[in-house]
Structure 1
């Protein structure tokens, strides 16, 4: 959700190169408030990967004709339209025709999962979700509702309008606003999240496509002050009917009913749960190299 602002002077990596001209291409998608090419965030990530894996092709998705439009798209362009644009860009890129890995940051991770489910050609091999909210959010950035009465009030105010047609179609964050108390309202009116999480009907194509991933890697930030609940980064969420106690992915109906194929993927060793001991999207170079680079080789 928040911009990925870190590294700065730590742009260049030391040690032996791990990649080659045969490296699998990589597609990146940024989070809310960021853009494809910010030199302090996605530009830095792209450079790090290219330095560590020489010869790799990295596409950092831009939704819009300019960097400014790309940033605005993260707030105001219908997510389903953004996913369509991303699918088209990926399909038309000749360097990706043999398949690619994908790495999404915050909301960009959700959007890339939708790409995996909806657009299997060319094939996505590994999906790396860095702080992605796969069960959505029920709170505001840096305003976790369970610890503040004011936040609870704001959350209820947003919730009262989050599922109106006007808000759903015009505000990206409303499309992954997940109300665990009024689940019927969420399932009926969520234009994006309820669809890709198979909350209304089970789309067997979505399920088959997601299960074709070699690995689905999810990173949770242990001191996250942006995502509420943070367990959404590991595909968990609040227990149904309330907004205090959470449940893991494995405890959820989504997993037990296997609507997305995640239970089968878990049993096959395709789900990988990683963590970083920091706030949202905050990690250092050594952690990135040790934990994520292996899934890009």
Structure 2
């Protein structure tokens, strides 16, 4: 990957990659000059991905244990030097939800993680699995930062950290995705709202790149329900992140959410999050 221009890293929950390409994802990708593309909820085979993206992309793919569910992938212009998929204890099934890869960018190594956190449902086994996954992230993130000072966890993390991240936050305080217990994990990741070191070395020291660029504003959102007029009224959630180590976050020079122009031109219920890193 050339280091003369910023590294463009895009991440998106594709909500089924085959359906996304039928609806226009390929046209978006062709126009976006992306170097690394992280995808979640792929719900397809590696052969499907290669056929859709083409031979110019090197593809890493970790499908879910259950066929047709979840699935994470990273496509890049250059081949990864190493990749890993293990997360958590040996008896914890993270298949299709956590994929790490190291890429050479100039004379540096950038570590990219495509992550898809469970959506969860309050008081059900699905919520228990979500907390297991978030616990595994808390354990893994310090080791990841030790492995590479230029590391980033991207993807659909299925938690709105702050009231700024959900339009209708008052109506969702008891729902999965905005539970106090879930939001506390993000306090661990980047620091707690109101603390002097929030998003500036707090918690485990990771940086929420989107919040750093957007500032103290509502959203901008990355996911909208398919029901009703949520997209038209921008009643969304910001649940897709790029969480970077401090060194990589300092190299970020642009942050964009590629929100579709209209409801009928969307190819996923999530919008891509695109960040340029000058490395």
The TM tier, using the shorter chain, reads 0.3 to 0.5
Q: Which has more radius of gyration?
A: 1
Which structure has more helix as a fraction of its residues?
Answer: 1
Q: TM-score, normalised by structure 1?
A: 0.38
Which structure has more strand as a fraction of its residues?
Answer: 2
Q: TM-score, normalised by structure 2?
A: 0.40
